[in-house]
Chain A
């Protein structure tokens, strides 16, 4: 199609063409622009850079699962003993409560504490003391996002392990609790708060990453508590009320599912905001 006006208007309706009038001047004006021609050296540099991204290039050798494990193991060295101990403490707390008043109180503690554990864990892992290390990490062949997700996966896996053990206890103690509902209602807030902690830590700092999810969760607990206290006048204990809504409330399930999605979204967003990326420098 050589006619420059046709190149502009081809595909438009006849009425639109007529309404546009004579476009010869515009078409010829646009034709005068030959555009920016790339330099040969520029093309050579482009090829040099792109060759690193070719499949099979040693520069971007895809990480094997054994390498992922090696990376995860290396990350675990960075976590202080106190991090692991805090998780175990929560587990012990759950165990002791189940001994004292297993039927009612444990699910309550579980729901309230588990997401907090995850959020605080994330903020802890990205604490400021590792800033020098963070800079040195940026000067390696491992991408910032790879590191962040490996670290996050470790925190989540550890919390998941503790939570699964507690879930098992609850299930053993209170068969009236529907297990999948409880899992989902736990997973929703945990992922959402973890995502929020992760994003806030990457975007701002680990203090904001700790305060923001803690504050949000605190508000939700307070709101829920006032509701539970109101129910107490109807003769229900808070724990019993919680078990009841876990077993029956569909809106809560939908809310937890949405929280899951929000959490995953925030985790993805945080990965894209990760420091040390090429975008953040250029």
Chain B
């Protein structure tokens, strides 16, 4: 099977079939990543399109490793979304107390988890409870199965910071889940 990098070089040459191949490979995974990241399917679809447009209009040297690169673009678009006026209009805005970050989704009240019906919605609610920096590391690790070194490249954060975000994110996620289970038992 042709590698992503080879397909991308053909896309840069104007090959429609290669573009269809890349879309086939990445449309679903990127949509899932961005939906989980933002909690908004419609915004995620827009960002997936923007991600592909960015790689199509990129005039620089083709990347050595395509997969981390396209996720880096998608992740940056998600970051821009959190910084955008549209996002601020829809939700309130808090600085990240852990890292001094300037972007994160407003934490969802943990009580609301129990109100969600399907598992998918429950997971989404839990993910939205986490600061965006921690959420992205968990998503890239667990669902996209990137190594921490690759996540460090994608997010532009040092490896130690990535580890710290993963650690704090998992601890927080576990705590929320346990609180939820206790709440349901009672």
- A23 interfacial by beta-carbon distance below 8 Å: yes
- B103 interfacial by beta-carbon distance below 8 Å: no
Q: A36–B35 contact, CB under 8 A?
A: yes
When distances are taken between beta carbons in the complex, the residues of chain B under 8 Å from A9 are: 166, 170
Q: B163–A16 contact, CB under 8 A?
A: yes
Q: B23–A36 contact, CB under 8 A?
A: no
Q: B11–A36 contact, CB under 8 A?
A: no
A50-58, A76-84, A124-132, A191-199 - interface stretch? A50-58
- B73 interfacial by beta-carbon distance below 8 Å: no
- B79 interfacial by beta-carbon distance below 8 Å: no
- A175 interfacial by beta-carbon distance below 8 Å: no
Q: B14–A36 contact, CB under 8 A?
A: no
- B4 interfacial by beta-carbon distance below 8 Å: no
When distances are taken between beta carbons in the complex, the residues of chain B under 8 Å from A38 are: 27-28, 31, 45
Chain A's closest residue to B146 (CB) is A11
Q: B56–A35 contact, CB under 8 A?
A: no
Q: B44–A51 contact, CB under 8 A?
A: no
From the candidates A4, A25, A42, A54, name the one contacting B11 in the complex (CB within 8 A).
Answer: A54
Q: How far is the CA of A282 from the CA of B45 in the complex (A)?
A: 13
Question: Interface centre among A21, A33, A50, by most B CB within 10 Å?
Answer: A33
> How many B residues touch A, CB cutoff 8 Å?
50
Q: B123–A32 contact, CB under 8 A?
A: yes
Give per-residue flags for A21-57: 1 if the beta carbon is below 8 A from chain B beta carbons, else 0: 1010111011011111110001100110111011111
Q: A54–B145 contact, CB under 8 A?
A: no
Within 8 A of A (CB), among B44-91: 44-46, 48-49, 52-53, 56-57
> How far does the Cβ of B175 sit from chain A's closest Cβ, in whole Å?
10
When distances are taken between beta carbons in the complex, the residues of chain B under 8 Å from A36 are: 31-32, 35, 41, 44
When distances are taken between beta carbons in the complex, the residues of chain B under 8 Å from A37 are: 28, 31
From the candidates B27, B124, B163, name the one contacting A46 in the complex (CB within 8 A).
Answer: B27
Q: A12–B28 contact, CB under 8 A?
A: no
> How far does the Cβ of A49 sit from chain B's closest Cβ, in whole Å?
6
From the candidates B13, B36, B53, name the one contacting A33 in the complex (CB within 8 A).
Answer: B36
* Additional pairs, 9, CB under 8 Å, beyond known A38-B31, A50-B19, A53-B53: A8-B141, A13-B163, A19-B167, A29-B119, A30-B138, A35-B28, A35-B32, A42-B45, A50-B56
20 contacts between A and B (CB under 8 A): A8-B138, A8-B142, A8-B170, A11-B163, A20-B170, A26-B170, A27-B142, A32-B120, A33-B119, A35-B28, A35-B35, A36-B32, A38-B31, A43-B23, A50-B23, A50-B53, A50-B56, A51-B16, A54-B14, A56-B14
